[in-house]
Amino acid sequence: MQPINGQHDWEKTGIEPVLPLIEKKMPGWPKKNRRMAKNELKNLKPSHLSRKGLIMTCTQFSQHSHKKRSCTQGNKHAK
């Protein structure tokens, strides 16, 4: 095979060119109109506070390394 210099040198076939597919609405939950940036504030209710910047602690042992849900020390001292 030898390279061809451009489209003007291609042989005409007489077949219609292939058209792109028609975009269909896909099933599923609709996407939001605009994605929020990382530094944008989300629309929170005025009565709710953000936990951003807070250090969560275990309520049983007041340790910063874990929360009550993942506390392994509480299971040891359960009974």
pLDDT tens per residue across span 24-69: 888 888 776 777 788 877 777 778 777 777 787 777 777 777 767 7
Residue with tokens 């910047």: 53
Q: Which of 65, 49, 69 is nearest to 57 (CA)?
A: 65
Is residue 31 within 8 A of residue 39, CB to CB? The reply is no
Full-prediction pTM beyond 0.85?
no
* pLDDT confidence tier of residue 79, bands split at 50, 70 and 90: very low
